[in-house]
Amino acid sequence: AEMELRHKQYNNALDIMRRATTPPGGAREARKNITQAEYDAMPVANKVYKSIKLWTFYCDLEESLGSMESTKKVYNDMLELRVATPQIILNYAHFLQEHKFFEDSFQIYERGVNAFKFPYSREIWISYLTQFIERFKGTKLERARDLFEQVLAEAPKKEAKAFYLMYAKLEEEYGLGKRAMDVYDRAVVGVPVDERLSVYDIYVARAMEFFGVAKVRAVFESAADATDLPSDVTKTLVTRFAEFERKLGELERARALYVHASQFSSPVKDPEFWATWHAFEVQHGNEDTFREMLRIKRAVAAAFADMHFNMTIVDAPTEPAAGATGKNNASTADDDGMDPMARLEAAQQAMPGFVRSHVEGAATTTGKANPDEIDLDGIGGGADGGGDDDAEIDLLGTSVPSTVYGDVQQHTKRDAEDEPLGALDRFKRARGGE
């Protein structure tokens, strides 16, 4: 076909492309559902008609050399054979609009959005809605609203922002301001979290333009009460709300909003917020309100510090080698037949620096014996030293080691020698000396 074009044989080029894009068994045979294995087993000549590159070249030739009807037939054949892409849909609709077939172009858009789903149909929807609004403006408002409701029902959250804004703009220009506010109210919930701040900015600006202070307050209050917003977005919106109230002279409302936003603002990581509140109290507050601001700042700093402390405390990680060793020890103990208490005592004895206390029934440790130690085990017992525990013990007949009262006995003996004796005592001492 390109060779025929280089030789200016345009009709021959069109005939070649027409033959190449004709299904072997006709359009009805081409529309039959076949498996991938059957399609792969087909000869190349039988499936060349599905080539996108071939069809686009054919469309260009028909638009340049053919007629209006022949070009429409090529595009319709592509739609029937399901080889059209979203770009082919856009090209076909644009071709019809150039020739003033607006309703036909809208029908092509409808076929396109029914054939493709998001995200592939996004550009088709944008072009469809834009062309529809430019064509009919506010004359077919209900039809336009139905189209927007249809696209919002199909679009995922990450693709919905552009359509919400287009819908709201349609209501602002051709519909009702109240409906536009309802669309913005749906938009702040229907878009992703990271895009809600920008939607709130547009919402507040339009609310101020159409309804004034009361509506703006309602928008800010709904944002402050929202529980699914990130803390930084809530803090930003509440701070703007406080600035809005300050400009209106509502200082107490502004101060209450600063107090509400302070719970999201760490004095360490967000000094700008506290600088803004500080400037507000310096300009509009008194000593009591300034002290209250400082007290709240200290309380918030302590709360964030405690939160950081609790988040950093973690349990000491257990090393895999230690866990494996513990398992091996447990299995060895089980093999030895030791009970859990015996394994625990063995582990304690193996600990460095561990001093074991007296264990009842344990054997006496060998070492140097104390000569002054009192043998209580042998008192009242038999030859084996293991008498009855309830037997009477003769404490008076038990000798006391000299080391216990050694110093006291020496002082007593010395005092007795120095004391003057009577005649009878001197006589007894003399007889004892003999």
Do residues 393 and 380 make contact, with C-beta atoms less than 8 angstroms apart? yes
**Mean pLDDT (whole number) for 417-422:** 58
**Mean pLDDT (whole number) for 333-339:** 52
Q: Which of 243-247, 303-307, 343-347 has the lowest mean pLDDT?
A: 343-347
Angle between helix 231-247 and helix 196-210 axes, rounded to 10 deg: 20
Do residues 75 and 62 make contact, with C-beta atoms less than 8 angstroms apart? no
Degrees, nearest 5: CA angle 347-353-356: 65
| pLDDT tens, residue by residue, 372-395 | 555 555 544 444 444 455 555 555
Please identify which residue in the block is written with the tokens 């089980």: 334
| pLDDT tens, residue by residue, 272-301 | 888 888 888 898 888 888 888 889 888 888
The H-or-E segment that residue 345 falls in is helix 340-350
Q: What is the DSSP letter of 363?
A: P
| Measured distance CA(400)–CA(407) in Å, rounded | 14
Of residues 33 and 292, the one with the higher pLDDT is 292
Please tell me the predicted confidence (pLDDT) of residue 321. Answer: 44
Take residue 209 and report the two structure tokens written for it. 């333009």
Do residues 223 and 200 make contact, with C-beta atoms less than 8 angstroms apart? yes
Number of other CB atoms surrounding residue 205 within 10 Å? 11
Please tell me the predicted confidence (pLDDT) of residue 183. Answer: 94
Burial annotation 106-134 (CB, 10 A radius, 16+ → b, else e): bebbebbbebbeeeebbebbebbbebbbe
DSSP 147-203: HHHHHHHHS-HHHHHHHHHHHHHHHHHHS-HHHHHHHHHHHHHHS-GGGHHHHHHHH
The model's pTM is 0.63
| Measured distance CA(168)–CA(171) in Å, rounded | 5
Of residues 111 and 228, the one with the higher pLDDT is 111
Alpha-carbon dihedral sign for residues 206, 208, 214, 218: positive
Res. 368 pLDDT band, cuts 50 70 90: low
| pLDDT tens, residue by residue, 225-250 | 888 888 888 888 999 999 999 998 88
| Measured distance CA(295)–CA(273) in Å, rounded | 15
Take residue 29 and report the two structure tokens written for it. 């045979």
Q: SS3 letters for 22-53?
A: CCCCHHHHHCCCCCHHHHHHCCHHHHHHHCHH
| Cis peptide preceding 24, ω within 30 of 0 | no
Please tell me the predicted confidence (pLDDT) of residue 229. Answer: 84
**Mean pLDDT (whole number) for 244-269:** 87
Do residues 126 and 89 make contact, with C-beta atoms less than 8 angstroms apart? no
Do residues 75 and 92 make contact, with C-beta atoms less than 8 angstroms apart? yes
